[in-house]
Structure 1
Amino acid sequence: MALRLGLGLPQTGSYDLAKDVTAVARAAEELGYDSVWVLERLLRPEEPLDDMYLVPGLRWAGYFRSVADPLVTMSLAAAATERVRLGSAVLVGPLHQPFLLARALGSLDAASGGRVVAGLGTGWSRDEYAAAGADHATRGAALDELLDVCAAVWGPDPAAYEGRRTRLTPSAVGPKPAGRIPVLLAGGNDTALRRMVRRADGWLPSMMAPERIAATRSRIAELAHEAGRDPAELSITLRTSVKLTDRPVEGKRRPHQGSPEQIVADLEDAVRAGVQEVLLDAQLTSRDVQELIETAKVLREAVTEAGL
């Protein structure tokens, strides 16, 4: 099966949200990309409780100062396209009220003709949890509740659920999704992987080396067999940060950063590790929307020429 390619939409403050999201979404569709994707980041605290991504000493990136709402961004892309799937990598599920998020995703799927891919995770920032009025300590249970509520709201009426954050008495809730919304879950520890195997359609790692992907894929297969599930049912979608250069990068380099040939070689490594779809996100390394679209064009052509 050919590698599926996704493209990250421009959400940061360096872009003009009034026109750049739709421009990139249309370009992705015209170039033959399979999907477009959003991320979620609420804020950039002046005195953060946690280092970025929980890496000791790592300062919060400047782009966190302004990241457009993911559901608004997905809606803009949906209205400008007809074919590409609309994915989140990721929505930090526990930051949202479960019923309202489930209903919004169902409405977006109905409006887009069944193109939503719900990529969810628990996040890491205690500052974001505090701002959203959510409990960081119970984030795993909150994600489980969200998954329950999504199943109820997206399923047949009457929908009903009783949980810690949600009390849904038997009710008609519409519009329903146009089809079954695929759910992908992030996280690489055993707890997250067990949840993914039990409750999702696939795994959504971010910026992960192929060796670790391959090792985690083996663990996923073990957990799937324990749960009585076929591992082949579980997809792997890798989020990457892409930086295209005119010349090959010499010496040590970060994956997915370099010449088209180097990036294609990285994608080949990802495929060998078990990845079926790669999200190429160049919004942070592009100077403007024209460069972002040109990067998307060059990489799409390079991947096609390589026969991936």
Structure 2
Amino acid sequence: MRLGITLFSTDRTITTHELAVAAEERGFASLYVPEHTHIPAARKTPPPTGADVLPEEYARIPDPFVALAAAAVLTDRIRLGTGVALPAQRDPIVTAKAVATLDRIAAGRFVLGVGYGWNAEEAAGHGVPWSRRRAVAREHVLAMRELWTREEAEFKGEFVEFEPSWSWPKPAGRIPVLLGGAPGPTLFAHIAEFGDGWMPIGGAGIREALPALREACEAAGREMVPVIPFGTLPSAEKLDYYASLGVEEIVLRVPAAGREEVLPVLDGYARSYGAG
């Protein structure tokens, strides 16, 4: 089983490029970092953590594409991804170029993990209708895929429209798109349509959700996609359980802290679970 790493990176934690080098040295397969463009100070959306007050770290996240580009220059093997980016809040033409550029720097090692978002005020700052954010995210990813794969790309949708256009560079390879979120018909339909895997946060409820995901993939005429539990705090029993479900990669969580706290956790994971 492959083990990846995720960190809730901020301007106060170990940097993404330092963590990428350390994770690669210890044999981890992947590294994922999150995205929030900004956090409005006045908010009605409750924190996803269940706490009364949203932790300050949500407002301190670096741009993941810039951070991962630095990591790509300093590493050779580890896959580098977003966990998760918020495509509904990004211009798809600009983001497609950023992703393609990053993937070329990384020699085909970039993975685009995406989500729909949970913060209505953040989405409003980007002009995203909250009730339509899933549809906006879908179109943005589909439009980016056209720009990545076609010499002369065009797109006409409800939220995105551009005439036949040139956009280079192209990615070094096919960009894997992994969708994060709780199980449900919309998420699974989108995974079956344009995704390359499901990243359930924490991994709870996977066994019960697998039949619905498999059914959605079959309805789209494709094979079952990988399931990659994300942000897991590991134990031997938990890894064995995931392996029994056919899971081949798990992304483990390390604390949002500095080198002195994070590196011993990496070493412990490597010793206990065989990443190295």
Runs of 4+ in 1 over 6 A off after TM superposition: none
State the Cα distance separating 1:71 from its structure 2 match: 1.1
Q: Does 1:179 align with 2:173?
A: yes
Identity percentage of aligned residues: 29
What residue ranges of structure 2 are gaps of 5+ in the alignment? none
| TM-score normalised by length of structure 1 | 0.83
The equivalences for 1:53-68 within 5 A come to 53=48, 55=50, 58-68=52-62
Match of 2:236 in 1: 264
State the Cα distance separating 1:9 from its structure 2 match: 4.3
In structure 1, distance between residues paired with 2:239 and 2:12: 28
State the Cα distance separating 1:197 from its structure 2 match: 1.4
In structure 1, distance between residues paired with 2:243 and 2:37: 32
Q: Does 1:161 align with 2:155?
A: yes
In structure 1, distance between residues paired with 2:65 and 2:194: 22
Match of 2:16 in 1: 21
Q: Does 1:110 align with 2:82?
A: no
CA RMSD of aligned residues (A): 2.1
Q: 227, 237, 246: which one pairs with 1:236?
A: 227
Higher relative contact order, chain-length normalized (CA < 8 Å, sep 6+) = 2
What residue ranges of structure 1 are gaps of 5+ in the alignment? 243-255, 257-262
Q: Secondary structure at the match of 1:297?
A: helix
Q: 41, 45, 48: which one pairs with 2:43?
A: 48
State the Cα distance separating 1:175 from its structure 2 match: 0.4
Question: Contact (CA 8 Å) 1:241, 1:282: kept in 2 or not?
Answer: no
Amino acid in the other structure paired with 1:192:
L
Amino acid in the other structure paired with 1:7:
I
State the Cα distance separating 1:116 from its structure 2 match: 0.8
Q: Secondary structure at the match of 2:201?
A: coil
Post-superposition Cα deviations, 1:3-32, rounded to whole Å, max 9, x if no partner, equal 11111246223226xxx3222111111111
Q: Does 1:304 align with 2:274?
A: yes
Q: Secondary structure at the match of 2:170?
A: coil
| TM-score normalised by length of structure 2 | 0.92
Q: Could you tell which deviates more after superposition, 126-135 or 180-189? A: 126-135
Match of 2:250 in 1: 278
Post-superposition Cα deviations, 1:125-155, rounded to whole Å, max 9, x if no partner, equal 1111122232222112111211221221111
Q: Does 1:221 align with 2:191?
A: no
Amino acid in the other structure paired with 1:280:
L
State the Cα distance separating 1:157 from its structure 2 match: 0.7
State the Cα distance separating 1:164 from its structure 2 match: 3.5
Post-superposition Cα deviations, 1:14-68, rounded to whole Å, max 9, x if no partner, equal 226xxx322211111111111111111233444322111285x653123213111
Kindly tell me: are residues 166 and 226 of structure 1, through their superposed partners in 2, closer, same or farther at Cα, counting changes over 3 Å?
Answer: closer
Match of 1:195 in 2: 190
